[in-house]
Amino acid sequence: MRGILYCYMRQADKVQQFKQDPKPSECLHSVFSAHTGDEVFSHEEYSHLQINAVSLFLLYLVEMISSGLQVIYNTDEVSFIQNLVFCVERAYRVPDFGVWERGSKYNNGSPELHSSSVGLAKAALEAINGFNLFGKQGCSWSVIFVDFDAHNRNRQTLCSLLPRESRSHNTDAALLPCLSYPAFALDDEVLFSQTLDKIIRKLKGKYGFKRFLRDGYRTALEDKTRRYYKPAEIKLFDGIECEFPLFFIFMIIDGVFRGNPAQVKEYQDLLDPLLQHTCEGCPVVPKYYYVPADFVELEKKNPGSQKRFPSNSGCDGKFFLWGQAVYIIAKLLADKLISPKDIDPIGRYVAPEDQRNVSMRFSNQGPLENDLVVHVALIAESQRLQVFLNTYGIQTQTPQQVEPIQIWAQKELVKAYFHLGVNDKLGLSGRPDRPIGCLGTSKIYRILGKTVVCYSIIFDLSDFYMSQDVMMLIDDIKNALQFIKQYWKMHGRPLFVVLIREDNIRGSRFNPILDMLAAFRKGIVGGVKVHVDRVQTLISGAVVEQLDFLRITETEEAPVFKRLEELDLPKHSKVKRQSSTPNASELEQQPDVNINDWKSKSTYEILQKFNDCNCLASQALLSSILLKREGPNFITKDGTVAEHIERIYRRAGSKKLWSVVRFAASLLGKLVDSLAPSITNVLVQGKQVTLGAFGQEEEVISNPLSPGVIKKIIYEKCHLQDEREAVVQQELVIHIGWIISNSPELFSGMLKIRIGWIIHAMKYELKIRAGDMPAKDLYQMSPSEVKQLLLDILQPQQQGRGWLNRRQIDGSLNRAPAGFYDRVWQILERTPNGLIVAGKFLPQQPTLSDMTMYEMNFSLLVEDMLQNIDQPEYRQIIVELLMVISVILERNPELEFQDKVDLDKVVQEAFHDFQKDHGLPKGSEKQDDMTAFYNTHPTGKKGTCSYLSKAVITLLLEGEMKPSNDDPCTVS
């Protein structure tokens, strides 16, 4: 362990770079010279990014120190380990190369998000949080801190990725050491059984487990002179993958831990014949068993029929050390010479029946019956606001009344954490500038002798207009409470500070806020039990975090933190409540100038008009012309153009002119907080996100990006037709990030979250609701109304709706029926020349050679094929057509398509049949109008499926039938 630490610490500069920007080229090396500790291969030569390796090191560091060993000797090493923790905390959003150092299954040099890496990171964070690296002799400055919210994101990500290993690996034996010994990373028994069953079902063989399907490693057909495979090459390895006895050993250890002697015996019996022996008769574990080149064809024809041969580990004095070490542990456990507690002193494994009695700072308990009560402190920002609320029976405290306890914004806590893990000698800065989440702000902190409580990021004064909508704030508070209830796993109650500002109760905002505060008094908010009391009373039941790393010597200057100050207003002066208006009328949101008329006019004329008109919408339009023509720093008599637009933005916000606010926000290039984490929330659910306006080019996001890159995409792709689109897409990303974390079932069947198309679906919904009246303008709706509309369209479609409307909404959401992608795979198997739709071609080869049926990457490829379709209702008809083709082929195994299948042509044939039946003559005006077809129910007589089936069967019968031995039509 000291040797690995020595090698790691020599690369402190890489740790510093990686925690700021986690790129494969900046990561810690995972291969070193055993003699000197030097780097052996460059990043171009070797796939070093393996988060699981660093996580395993941290986990064993804790296990070993807990057993009484001393591994860490000085504070430089402590600060280095703390920085390793900062790197591992982001495992949930950093694609790596995984245990097998190859990343994607195709072995083409691309990293992926691996369940095994995220799981090991989660286990390491649980183990090392609050742990003293100096053991029992340690003091406060050798304690390691873990961000509770980052740990929780790893937990959520692991549960959403499983039972898959990654996008290309449907399952993988690497999950065994993650889910069982040594990590025991999963606390959901059902998901554990589901994942383990899948590993056994797909990978278990006579000689061990395959690492994963189509794994070419050390097979007879692998070209050992090349580092990467060619496209479609992995098909060669189908059925001849090497089998590793190592995983039988992991199953023996798992059986011992879980008290399952039948499992132990089963895998011991399987393992014993596979062991080789040295000259002295000592058992040796071969690394793998392979199919020799001469037997490959026979094995492929009849899987499991051929004898496999062991690798030469042990024969020439070289041992497969991993296998040998795990074998010795398994043998000691099985012979009862050691107990599970001896190799797991920190108790990573907790039997289900004991989980309630286990006390840990980060509990790895499963989903227990959660009846958590959240403690709430109501804080008014001024005394006069407190007096005013008191008249309505709402008891609050002011910042002065909670003294000596201080109230901080979460960004001040972030500033405090900057001092954690700083080491000038090693060139390491402290914790990166990452916000503290809801769970972190629900603890109490002791900092430099002060007691501090924090309010959540949702109460921060934001520059983005969503904070102007008080209904959004109320919604955020309910979401935060539900989130805390669901994910709080510590002993002690969470303390949630509700900060009430004078601005929150102005005008029409007051009643909704009052209703929410009344709900707090009653003790239940958004389905969560709450207990409201004074901060001084609630502190006794809270979790206290001692931030002792902020040690200040006499020569150092203490850091300055800004606490929440009480507004200095006369106590009995009146709270101004009428400075805000109800939602503005549509008339106020419409400009009284036409942009096209003014584009050609001179700058002088535009400035004249700008000064003369009082309409904010018109001023915003005129400002946009000036901005594009003269730039943001063009000076007028009242300041620059940018300052003008900022004023319009503020005034429109207070008047609730949402369309004007959005237009101005877009002109100013505003970016909402938490945009990057929201996109990451969607990606870790196994989805992709696309940004860009409906009908225009879209940008597909498959891996987490930085806020700067996302801003560039949004303002390049969403600005083309309507400036307001750029900020509405940001709103939707924030909403979807929250919804998918709390209610992932609403996105079932949606693999690609196309933001522009979802906005299109929302506009459709508004049209449907309006009937014959003009539809409501989406851009004039408040952010909370936009969120509610989004939730409405995500619900399953109402039965009373016409089929056109249903197809429009489902098509816009890119929703597909259960098993859809597997059915497309089955179609492709019977379509040698591939499928084409809207000019996008899906070939049979190399697709079937490269991928496997249940692989996420294949599903994404099918989505890519459908991407060019520009009408949502037509997309839905194509989805229905593919389901029809699949059913027909399933019921007629003797049929297959001879030529390339043009799905557009099949739909056209079906539509022509439909026209004939409905008496639409050729050459009529409505010849190409498919509205009636889209509005026809799919099933039953004369449903769309009957027309599609007929067209498909006609196409199939044009080809040849495959002869079958038991064909009932054959006479002789």
DSSP per-residue codes, 373-422: EEEEEEEESBHHHHHHHHTTT---B-TTTTTTSEEEEHHHHHHHHTTTT-
Report yes or no: 87 and 97 within 8 Å, Cβ to Cβ. no
Q: Record the pTM.
A: 0.88
Q: Is 70 helix (H, G, I), strand (E, B) or coil?
A: coil
Strand arrangement, sheet containing 835-837: 840-842, 835-837, 901-902
Report yes or no: 438 and 674 within 8 Å, Cβ to Cβ. no
The confidence score (pLDDT) of residue 712 equals: 92
Please give the biggest Cα pair distance in the chain: 106
Res. 152: pLDDT tops 50: yes
If we measure between CA atoms, which residue out of 153, 121, 147, 144 comes closest to residue 56? 121
Q: Which residue has the tokens 């109800």?
A: 582
Res. 366: pLDDT tops 50: no
In this structure, what token pair is assigned to residue 685? 């659910």
Q: Is 701 helix (H, G, I), strand (E, B) or coil?
A: strand
**Per-residue confidence at 371, pLDDT binned at 50, 70, 90?**
confident
Q: Is 325 helix (H, G, I), strand (E, B) or coil?
A: helix
The confidence score (pLDDT) of residue 798 equals: 65
In this structure, what token pair is assigned to residue 34? 């055993």
What integer is the mean pLDDT of 702-726? 87
**Per-residue confidence at 685, pLDDT binned at 50, 70, 90?**
confident
Res. 778: pLDDT tops 70: yes
Bridge partners of 409?
455
The confidence score (pLDDT) of residue 966 equals: 55
CA 123 to centroid of chain Cα atoms = 19
876 Cβ contact list (under 8 Å, min separation 6): 807, 808, 810, 811
The confidence score (pLDDT) of residue 66 equals: 93
| Distance from C-alpha of 425 to C-alpha of 433, rounded to nearest angstrom | 21
Residue 816: how many other CB atoms lie within 10 Å: 25
| Distance from C-alpha of 842 to C-alpha of 97, rounded to nearest angstrom | 28
pLDDT in tens, 447-484: 988 999 999 988 988 778 888 888 999 999 999 999 89
| Distance from C-alpha of 500 to C-alpha of 377, rounded to nearest angstrom | 11
Q: Which contacts qualify for 391-398: CB closer than 8 Å, 24 or more apart?
A: 392/514, 392/517, 393/521, 394/514, 394/517, 394/518, 394/521, 395/532, 396/500, 397/534, 397/535, 398/566
If we measure between CA atoms, which residue out of 664, 592, 594 comes closest to residue 623? 664
If we measure between CA atoms, which residue out of 443, 355, 479 comes closest to residue 787? 479
Q: How many residues does the chain have?
A: 972
The confidence score (pLDDT) of residue 680 equals: 87
pLDDT in tens, 557-570: 778 888 888 887 76
Res. 897: pLDDT tops 70: yes
The confidence score (pLDDT) of residue 600 equals: 77
420 Cβ contact list (under 8 Å, min separation 6): 82, 145, 430, 431, 547, 549
| Distance from C-alpha of 134 to C-alpha of 127, rounded to nearest angstrom | 15
862 Cβ contact list (under 8 Å, min separation 6): 820, 821, 824, 842
Q: Which residue has the tokens 């002791």?
A: 446
Q: Are strands 309-310 and 373-380 parallel, antiparallel or unpaired?
A: unpaired
Q: Is 210 helix (H, G, I), strand (E, B) or coil?
A: strand
**Better-predicted residue by pLDDT, 798 or 375:** 375
In this structure, what token pair is assigned to residue 584? 């503005």
The confidence score (pLDDT) of residue 605 equals: 82
The confidence score (pLDDT) of residue 590 equals: 72
The confidence score (pLDDT) of residue 555 equals: 56
What integer is the mean pLDDT of 340-345? 93
Residue 717: how many other CB atoms lie within 10 Å: 21
3-state helix, strand, coil in the chain (%, to 5): 50, 10, 45
Q: Which residue has the tokens 């990030």?
A: 737
Report yes or no: 182 and 60 within 8 Å, Cβ to Cβ. yes
In this structure, what token pair is assigned to residue 130? 């609050």
- At 89, the amino acid letter reads E
| Distance from C-alpha of 764 to C-alpha of 31, rounded to nearest angstrom | 56
The confidence score (pLDDT) of residue 580 equals: 44
Q: What DSSP character marks residue 283? A: E
pLDDT in tens, 424-453: 999 999 899 888 999 999 999 999 889 999
Most confident of 348-357, 439-448, 604-613: 439-448
What integer is the mean pLDDT of 59-71? 94
Q: Which range among 204-208, 441-445, 621-625 shows the weakest confidence by mean pLDDT? A: 621-625
The confidence score (pLDDT) of residue 550 equals: 73
pLDDT in tens, 216-226: 999 999 999 99
| Distance from C-alpha of 623 to C-alpha of 606, rounded to nearest angstrom | 9
Q: Are strands 835-837 and 840-842 parallel, antiparallel or unpaired?
A: antiparallel
If we measure between CA atoms, which residue out of 758, 901, 927, 762 comes closest to residue 840? 901
Bridge partners of 71?
none
The confidence score (pLDDT) of residue 921 equals: 57
Q: Is 260 helix (H, G, I), strand (E, B) or coil?
A: coil
What integer is the mean pLDDT of 895-911? 92
CA dist 343 → 2, 349, 869 (Å): 19, 11, 57
Q: How far from each other are the two terminal CA atoms of the chain, in whole angstroms?
A: 76
**Per-residue confidence at 970, pLDDT binned at 50, 70, 90?**
low
Q: Are strands 373-380 and 495-500 parallel, antiparallel or unpaired?
A: parallel
498 sits in which H/E element = strand 495-500
| Distance from C-alpha of 940 to C-alpha of 909, rounded to nearest angstrom | 19
| Distance from C-alpha of 56 to C-alpha of 30, rounded to nearest angstrom | 12
- At 806, the amino acid letter reads R
What integer is the mean pLDDT of 73-87? 94
The confidence score (pLDDT) of residue 361 equals: 43
| Distance from C-alpha of 736 to C-alpha of 681, rounded to nearest angstrom | 9
**Better-predicted residue by pLDDT, 267 or 969:** 267
What integer is the mean pLDDT of 180-196? 93
If we measure between CA atoms, which residue out of 621, 624, 658 comes closest to residue 641? 624
Specify burial of residue 764 (Cβ count, 10 A radius: 0-12, 13-18, 19+).
buried
The confidence score (pLDDT) of residue 308 equals: 94
- Mean pLDDT, the chain, integer: 88
| Distance from C-alpha of 125 to C-alpha of 146, rounded to nearest angstrom | 7
111 preceded by a cis bond (ω within 30 of 0): no
79 Rama class: left (phi>0) / alpha (psi -120 to 50) / beta: alpha
Most confident of 18-22, 265-269, 366-370, 526-530: 265-269
Q: Which range among 461-465, 505-509, 524-528, 652-656 shows the weakest confidence by mean pLDDT? A: 505-509
The confidence score (pLDDT) of residue 753 equals: 95
Q: Are strands 444-447 and 289-290 parallel, antiparallel or unpaired?
A: unpaired
Report yes or no: 55 and 88 within 8 Å, Cβ to Cβ. yes
What integer is the mean pLDDT of 850-869? 89
**Per-residue confidence at 959, pLDDT binned at 50, 70, 90?**
low
What integer is the mean pLDDT of 186-212? 95
Bridge partners of 701?
689
752 Cβ contact list (under 8 Å, min separation 6): 687, 688, 689, 690, 700, 814, 860, 863, 867
Res. 972: pLDDT tops 70: no
Q: Which range among 19-23, 141-145, 826-830, 863-867 shows the weakest confidence by mean pLDDT? A: 19-23
If we measure between CA atoms, which residue out of 338, 305, 376 comes closest to residue 524? 376
Percent of the chain past pLDDT 90, that is, above it, reads: 59
Q: Quick one: CA dihedral 769, 773, 776, 777, positive or negative? A: positive
If we measure between CA atoms, which residue out of 877, 872, 878 comes closest to residue 812? 872
Res. 251: pLDDT tops 60: yes
| Distance from C-alpha of 801 to C-alpha of 336, rounded to nearest angstrom | 67
The confidence score (pLDDT) of residue 741 equals: 83
Q: Which residue has the tokens 């296990």?
A: 63
In this structure, what token pair is assigned to residue 587? 């008339």
445 Cβ contact list (under 8 Å, min separation 6): 413, 416, 451, 452, 453, 454, 544, 545, 546, 547
Res. 365: pLDDT tops 50: no
| Distance from C-alpha of 838 to C-alpha of 904, rounded to nearest angstrom | 7
CA dist 361 → 275, 358, 819 (Å): 42, 10, 41
Q: Are strands 901-902 and 835-837 parallel, antiparallel or unpaired?
A: parallel
